[in-house]
Chain A
Amino acid sequence: MSKRAIMVDIDLCYGCFACEVACKQEHSLPENVNWIRVHKIGPQKVNGKLQMHFYPMQCRHCTRPPCMDACPEHAITQRRDGIVLISEERCIGCLKCAEACPFGAIECHPGTGLAGKCTLCVERIEEGKVPSCVYHCPTGALGFGDPNELMARKQKAVAQEELRNL
């Protein structure tokens, strides 16, 4: 199975937070637990001009996930399609995975005390849908699919933009 991933196009993200709430609804998450979080960078002056960017951050389903190595209970597994999942049954809530994650994408659920993170909405994608955050994103800032195809599409858009500006 080819790898699928969420790609973030920060040119298109304008910080509407739809992904955060879509994720919470899909996974019944309580307050202050986010499996995707929109980070605001700025406004700040860059070369005398104000800039502001938004960056939705969630589990990257790394090729070699450090969380998996950190877990003493082998509760984290990677499927053949690349999706990294935490087993609720095996997790003991030590949160070593959260410490190991370079993206800060793993959070403790206050109700169960267990680690949780983006599952790429695995149940939705098995039904042929896209993850809820991607589905509800108004601008396409969140894309889902084969990472190589997504990158190629973005490169084409950038090239077109540069052509227009010539």
Chain B
Amino acid sequence: MPRKRTDSERAAGSTRIVRTVCDRCHCECGVFVHVRDGRAIKVEGDPHHPINEGSLCPKGLAVLQTVYHPDRILYPMKRTGQRGEGKWQRISWDEALDTVAATFKEVMEKYGPESITWSWGDAASHNTWVSKQAWLTAMNAPNHLHSDAHYCFYPVGIANRATFGEMVTSEGSPDYRNSRCMMLWGGNPVMSHPTAARDIMIGKGKGAKIIVIDPRFTETASKADLWLQVRPGADDALALSMLNVIINEELYDKEFVDTWCSGFEQLRERVQDYPPRWGSEITWVDEEEIIQAARMYATNKPASMHTRMGVCMSTNTVQTIRAISIMLAICGNLDIKGGNVFKRLPQGLRSRREIPDKELALPPEIQDKKIGAQEYPLLSGSPTLVGNFSHPPSVIHTMITGKPYPIKALWACNDLLLCLEGARETKEALMNLDFLVGSDFFMTPTLELCDVILPPATYLEREEPVESLCTVNTISARQKAIDPVGECRNEKDIDFEIIRRMGLKPPAQFQSPEEFNDYSVKGMGVTYEDFKKKGYISEPVQYKKYEEKGFNTPSGKVEIYCSLFEKYGYDPLPFYQENPETPISAPELAKEYPLMLITGGRHVVYFHAAHRQIPWLREIAPEPTLTIHPDTAMHLGIKDGDMVWIEAPKGRGRIKMKAELTEALHPRVVHAPSHWWFPEKKDPTHGCWDSNINAILSNDPPYDPIVGATPLRGCLCRVYKVQKEE
């Protein structure tokens, strides 16, 4: 039934509309929040905002069910029972902040500042990166656990930047609307970045060809002209054989290559090892399709290219994305309309990404202590190509072994037990800590292990300048729509308070959330109050910006032969290497574990581990399902809807999911979604060992040698029916 409006609701002017910016994923769309009597009653897309133009995804539309959820943590809490026992007591902010500050200080004095770190992974935490870095910098603490640093953005960041100085194959840069061809590699934007998917459909409406490369027949693949069902983890072989076709058939942009690229001849020689016939054997894609895709991308200019997690979770990810980056460059699609456009934020903006790296940077001798700095200098070292993150699996190992030094305290701003491979080791690591603080909206399996909980504000309850990952030129103003529910508090405010109560020095530039907001936009000639009135500022898009100063690489050129990689001892040209646990590299193991497992395909209603308790979202995707080909299922005696065990080799254990039979997958490949837990289960583990795929994935080496990625898309498993008594 439609809710009847009361007379007071009908009265004009009783509802205030606040223009602000969503943060339920990295798209960060413009929204209008309708507020009545201090309570948000509705959220709508902002029709003028350049990122979403009025549209909004289910996550954004259901945000009020997070804000006013009966289970939301509204007050600071401290643990009263054993860790993980689920016994909590409400405390005052004063007590919480004093306890947290004093305990961090104690750990710092006893074990050194390198023993303290914080973890994060979602869009909301992106915005507290600045104040958390201020806290780390004030302590001289080098470790920063961006828990998906080794595979989310940074394989792309390193590969793109080492090649042509900019990160362009993730979100924002592909100019789908103006493309004649789009190559979407290892991602499903319909589910992961709905605004990008909308741009893809606009481009398609204008006649662009779509090529999707994915082991799954995804929503995006259903709209494609060409879908290449690549064997999981064989993307390097596919990219190299496509390069072979493009170079040998001379389909590349000769003028661009002659003027702007170095090392083309070495590449020509290298790709002779990778003809499409060979590629077909390795990738399980027809030779003809490889050739067709290469021709389609190279001959329909301008063409845009997107790479996502599917190519990032392998032990050869950086070289894979290097090959793809080179393909994009030699076809002349860099920084042109309809190609992959370089970022250019409004002039004068102090970016939330640049402040931590530049203004709050720690001295090199401190940075060099960072976990991963020696092993993965381009990820964790000083200088880095991507932003100074510790290597996540190594941090977990350090928490357990105390080597090379102890890590004893963590401020967890995400659900590490669900978001990081090797969940059982993560649990051991967290239990091993002296002090664990948590900030999240709900009592997650990770928060249940904490000592103190500091509840954060949602985006409706705070304000800040927002740099969406899905744009190259726009900054938007988030503004407060309602007062925080309960005693929740802006996380930046909490961070500055902890800095002060630890007796540390906050940065000179800004010492409160309000000061940060003004500081960030000051260079654009506005105060934050002015900026809120504008709502957003977009810098006019310009193309071929490299023509002024060259590319941001040591030689100023597109380095097909990468001088930086040569300097660090990596292969300066891309190559193919099999993942460690596949039917090709481990044929004996594959006899016992015959299926290839891919994990982590997204659903639009979830963001990582978030939203399982949101009724409007959970009902759309109520349970985790293992997707399996009907022929394979029949062979295993599995029917649609049966509960099945998914078991990994090498003693990593097994988890349960419901089988969903679909022809979307190759018969030898199964797919399991990630991050599953069950908030409705009231025991303090909240079912995080039932269906959490990260519980059976390894965080042990071998890693990608450059970025330290783990092979989560393409390891072995076996699947069998759960017996009644289990």
State the CA gap A52–B191 with chains docked (Å): 15
Kindly list chain A residues whose C-beta atoms are within 8 Å of the C-beta of B227. Answer: 50
Q: Are A138 and B619 touching (Cβ within 8 A)?
A: no
Distance (whole angstroms) from the CB of A90 to the closest CB of chain B: 13
Stretch at the interface among B53-61, B344-352, B517-525: B53-61
- Count A-B pairs with CB separation below 8 Å: 119
State the CA gap A111–B2 with chains docked (Å): 12
Distance (whole angstroms) from the CB of B476 to the closest CB of chain A: 18
With A136-B44, A136-B56 in contact, is A21–B222 under 8 Å at CB?
no
Q: Are A18 and B58 touching (Cβ within 8 A)?
A: yes
Q: Are B605 and A17 touching (Cβ within 8 A)?
A: yes
Q: Are A136 and B217 touching (Cβ within 8 A)?
A: no
State the CA gap A124–B3 with chains docked (Å): 13
State the CA gap A24–B618 with chains docked (Å): 13
Q: Are A51 and B222 touching (Cβ within 8 A)?
A: yes
State the CA gap A164–B207 with chains docked (Å): 7
Contact residues of A between 16 and 34, Cβ < 8 Å to B: 16-18, 20-22, 24-28, 30-32
Contact of B61 among A31, A45, A51, A136 (CB under 8 A): A136
Q: Are A18 and B57 touching (Cβ within 8 A)?
A: yes
Distance (whole angstroms) from the CB of A54 to the closest CB of chain B: 8
Distance (whole angstroms) from the CB of B235 to the closest CB of chain A: 20
Distance (whole angstroms) from the CB of B44 to the closest CB of chain A: 7
Q: Are A138 and B2 touching (Cβ within 8 A)?
A: no
Q: Are A138 and B195 touching (Cβ within 8 A)?
A: yes
Q: Is B220 close to A, CB under 8 A?
A: yes
**How many residues of chain B get a CB closer than 8 Å to chain A's CBs?**
45
Q: Is B637 close to A, CB under 8 A?
A: no
Contact of A15 among B42, B52, B219 (CB under 8 A): B219
Kindly list chain B residues whose C-beta atoms are within 8 Å of the C-beta of A25. Answer: 42-43, 61-62, 64, 616
Q: Is A88 close to B, CB under 8 A?
A: yes
Distance (whole angstroms) from the CB of B16 to the closest CB of chain A: 17
Q: Are B3 and A27 touching (Cβ within 8 A)?
A: yes
Stretch at the interface among B197-205, B393-401, B429-437: B197-205
State the CA gap A150–B82 with chains docked (Å): 63
State the CA gap A16–B303 with chains docked (Å): 25
State the CA gap A26–B3 with chains docked (Å): 9
**How many residues of chain A get a CB closer than 8 Å to chain B's CBs?**
43
- Nearest opposing residue in chain B for A132, CB measure: B44
- Nearest opposing residue in chain A for B615, CB measure: A31
State the CA gap A27–B663 with chains docked (Å): 37
Distance (whole angstroms) from the CB of A158 to the closest CB of chain B: 11
- Nearest opposing residue in chain A for B663, CB measure: A43
State the CA gap A52–B605 with chains docked (Å): 19
Distance (whole angstroms) from the CB of B182 to the closest CB of chain A: 14
State the CA gap A124–B328 with chains docked (Å): 46
Contact residues of A between 123 and 142, Cβ < 8 Å to B: 123, 132, 135-139
16 further A-B contacts with Cβ under 8 Å, apart from A27-B1, A42-B222, A138-B194, are A12-B205, A14-B197, A14-B219, A15-B219, A18-B56, A20-B616, A25-B62, A27-B2, A30-B615, A31-B615, A31-B616, A52-B217, A52-B664, A88-B1, A136-B55, A139-B197
User: 3 closest pairs, A vs B, by CB?
Assistant: A138-B55, A138-B198, A52-B222
